[in-house]
Amino acid sequence: KTRTKILRKFSQVKKQIKNINVNCVIPVRGPVIDKFCNSLDKLNKKPLIFYTIDEAIKVNEFKKIIISTADLKLIKIIKQKYKNKVLFHKRKSNLSGHNQDYRESVLQAVKKFNKENIDVLSIMTVENPYRKYFYITQAISNLIIHESDLVIGTIPDIENNFYQYSKKGIKLISNEKNNSLKLEKNVILKDVGAFSVYNFKSYLKNNISKVTNIVLDDQDSIMLLNKSDLAAANNKSNIK
């Protein structure tokens, strides 16, 4: 009976997804704007940003894939490769600074290509080249099933213990290496930044209350945040 209810719910979600407008936005500064941006640096002879775009194209639920950047050279290179498979939002230079929140740019990008508000927004980062498309599909279903405001990609932290201050000293808040706390609810989850799937109404209002997650494999969660990370990943590939 329980299995029947679960299957029925998934069936309803599948029908619902067909009728919702899901947009993907990939915000990136680009190396012309930020010399530390590694979006065009190559991993296994392929520009890093291409990995994210390739996976985004595989997500059938995406009605539009939008690159938001102020880097015209980056736009030209992506256009040559992907033609009309992706759309481009020219981000304002004053919204492209280092450590600048890309929220306003994302909203402008969505508004540019949609006459009405969308239902679901997926933000994908270029620093996660190993993240697979099916995690995004799972996240969209998760968002609808759990009526969440946001779904993120996570991995459980199994290497560290975490403590917080209490009246009796510090208190363990994770369950690793502690046999008395072997409960899933005590596991510390790490946001790996691979994607953020939002209920767009919640994102628009900047009101994120309920957050759920999709667990990624360790390999798929690897982030290449800088040129050193990229060099290490290329060296590892060459060794294999």
pTM for the full model? 0.85
Rg (CA), the chain: 20
d(CA 172, CA 164): 7
Q: Burial-class residue 183 by CB neighbours within 10 Å (0-12, 13-18, 19+).
A: exposed
Residue-level pLDDT at 93 = 72
Q: List, in order, residues 6 or more apart from 9 with CB less than 8 Å away.
A: 145
Task: Please list, residue by residue across 4-17, b when 16 or more beta carbons sit within 10 angstroms of its beta carbon and e when fewer do.
Answer: eeeeeeeeebeeeb
Q: Which residue has the higher pLDDT, 157 or 56?
A: 56
Residues across the chain: 240
Instruction: Quick: pLDDT tens for 22-58.
Output: 999 999 988 888 888 899 999 999 999 999 999 999 9
d(CA 69, CA 217): 29
Residue-level pLDDT at 7 = 47
Using DSSP, state whether 42 is helix, strand or coil: strand
The mean-pLDDT minimum among 65-74, 115-124, 162-171 falls in 162-171
C-beta neighbour count of 89 within 10 angstroms: 22
Token duo for residue 183: 């409960």
d(CA 66, CA 78): 11
pLDDT band for position 95 (cuts 50, 70, 90)? low
Using DSSP, state whether 15 is helix, strand or coil: helix
The mean-pLDDT minimum among 12-21, 92-101, 201-210 falls in 92-101
Of 30, 42, 31, the C-alpha closest to 231 is 42
